[in-house]
Structure 1
């Protein structure tokens, strides 16, 4: 599909565009990528394989700017990504996408924005800003999940804490890497090494870079918050273990002298005093020892 630049993005037929040869955005799939690049006058020497895309990056070539986008899907941040190539020369933009994600973005731009694509710079700004538009909302959702987990820790509802926290940390780490890549990509566009963009419009890419920077800072903050929640959970676990150890220590301290007494009087030596009728005395001694231990523990506020 071809969209003409202008105040509004207008889809046109190939014959109509070829008759006018006006600047346009080409959206195609990998199977027709070479044909579309040739129609746009772009030469790309490397192989176009969308499944090999693993990063968001920019490659400045002599004839064009070639970029890849690897965008996490909001509902499955760890496992699923939208992958696409985009190419820019002095007049045209070519987007290679097998999932129609780019077409959905363009339709959203057509519905939401008054100035949709008067220039290449403005179109790229709208395109990148559109697929990043819901990220702030997504990070707020992560923050709410962490807040609920912190409340669960304070209320000692920690049965599934680790199973809930680990995916959140992994997803946030994944998003941090993604925003770092987007910062580098937008800065590369702003540097305009090939001179394909007008200097007065480079501010669009600076705005995108600032947005990616803010999103990454928010993600880093959430990672730190997740670590604090984990430390609070660990502190509660340690306190619970210390309480259990303290209880076991009290029991051991009480029963150790009792064990010594019963062991001593259980040897049954022939000349042992109290061998015949010492049972009440041993019972009394044991009770006295228990009371002394309890008094000491109370005084030291152990129990």
Structure 2
């Protein structure tokens, strides 16, 4: 399958090296020249052709009478919650137009050419390689998340919980983002497999089913990691509650010990005229207080509260 940038296509047409039926099946262009590329491929897009990258927030596919219109919003592996690679693609019976301002599509194709012997002799096989290429490293990414969560679980078991909440929060948000992204890719693969417009050969639809299955497996792995992260978070919360209960128990014991001392000091602090201990009662009050404290400590130790 011939893959060219828009400038290369126009140059060959001007030199009459490419006839109408021989124009490339895949054209890569930027957002500025998207309309020109679609006209060259003979594609008619119904509705307003809004090609702003800011308006691309999902991976989706829309079937129209003259073409299939899709968008790709791909998280960056090193910054899942940050900016994304955003592309549009259009498909008709002969051509595929990919609209990309980040040069990401061209880099994917270079990687396909380096790693694939059969780079895609049909449009279906090309789409399979293209979509599969930016999903190829996701399993490794999810493996890194799993190792991070396992390390956090070990730290919780060892009582090393400092900074736990600051670390687990971003991980859960990233995994939620990835789960939604894989769900969108799975739906896109199923929509391509349905072949509503009949643009694809029936025997080639297996490629799109493979894309949907791969996205489904990645989504399942992400859901498992989310559940695992929640279990580790629950373990941390249980440990934090245990520590808090222990602290509250200690404070309760201290309060209980000092309560009778407060009663004694309050009683002898009234200085009634006929109190026998008023003149020489200081040593007695001290001794009584010590006896009360010792008794309370022995009681709480017997109850294993100290």
The interval holding the TM-score normalised by the smaller chain is over 0.9
SS at match of 2:18: helix
1:287 to 286, 290, 297: 290
Tell me what 2:189 maps to. 186
- TM-score w.r.t. length of structure 2: 0.92
2:239 to 236, 245, 248: 236
Tell me what 2:12 maps to. 14
Say whether 1:28 aligns with 2:29: yes
Question: Which deviates more, 224-233 or 16-25?
Answer: 16-25
1:72 to 56, 72, 75: 75
Tell me what 1:151 maps to. 154
SS at match of 1:31: coil
CA distance in 2 between partners of 1:136 and 1:114 (Å): 22
CA distance in 1 between partners of 2:265 and 2:112 (Å): 86
Tell me what 1:8 maps to. none
CA distance in 1 between partners of 2:174 and 2:109 (Å): 27
CA distance in 2 between partners of 1:287 and 1:17 (Å): 104
Where structure 1 has 5 or more consecutive residues not aligned to the other structure, the ranges are: 5-10
CA distance in 2 between partners of 1:49 and 1:249 (Å): 63
CA distance in 2 between partners of 1:19 and 1:40 (Å): 9
SS at match of 1:177: helix
CA distance in 1 between partners of 2:258 and 2:102 (Å): 72
CA distance in 1 between partners of 2:290 and 2:35 (Å): 94
SS at match of 1:83: strand
Where structure 2 has 5 or more consecutive residues not aligned to the other structure, the ranges are: none
CA distance in 1 between partners of 2:169 and 2:21 (Å): 55
1:57 to 47, 56, 60: 60
CA distance in 2 between partners of 1:279 and 1:227 (Å): 59
Tell me what 1:136 maps to. 139
1:302 to 285, 298, 305: 305
Say whether 1:41 aligns with 2:42: yes
Deviations 1:46-88 (A, max 9, x none): 3122221111000101111110000011111112111111111
CA distance in 1 between partners of 2:21 and 2:282 (Å): 115
Shift of 1:23: 5.4
- TM-score w.r.t. length of structure 1: 0.93
SS at match of 1:90: coil
CA distance in 1 between partners of 2:27 and 2:12 (Å): 10
Question: Which deviates more, 29-38 or 55-64?
Answer: 29-38
Question: Which deviates more, 257-266 or 18-27?
Answer: 18-27
